[in-house]
Amino acid sequence: MIAKKIWTTENLNKAKELKKQGLTARQIGSKLGVSKNSVLGMMYRDKVERGYVPNGKPHAIPNDSMIGYFTKIGKRNCMMCNKKFDIYSKFDRFCDRCKRTSMYRSA
């Protein structure tokens, strides 16, 4: 079975022009008669613009919640050995030493 060539030079130039106008991949695909994924693949392979992100959204910029993900937020008593340990989440209940015991793992 021979697949027809969708991305001719003419279609590629038209897609680039539509992208510059700010159209989404879905809109470009409907104008050219191809799927959104075909447009995204073409743009990714041909590097239509520097820093192109397939879904059109900018890369995630770390916010306060992401920066504090592995930040120590306090101390708490372990529920097994009752010794103080550093917590990184409000859900930390057991210290690392107790988590390595067979009693913790078997529960």
User: pLDDT for 11-62, tens place per residue?
Assistant: 888 888 888 888 888 888 898 888 888 888 887 777 655 444 555 555 555 5
- State pTM to two decimals: 0.42
- Please indicate whether residue 21 or residue 66 has the higher confidence score (pLDDT): 21
Report angle CA 28, 29, 35 to the nearest 5 degrees. 155
Looking at residue 65, its pLDDT comes to 53
- Tell me the backbone φ, ψ of residue 65, rounded to 5 degrees: -70, -35
Looking at residue 51, its pLDDT comes to 45
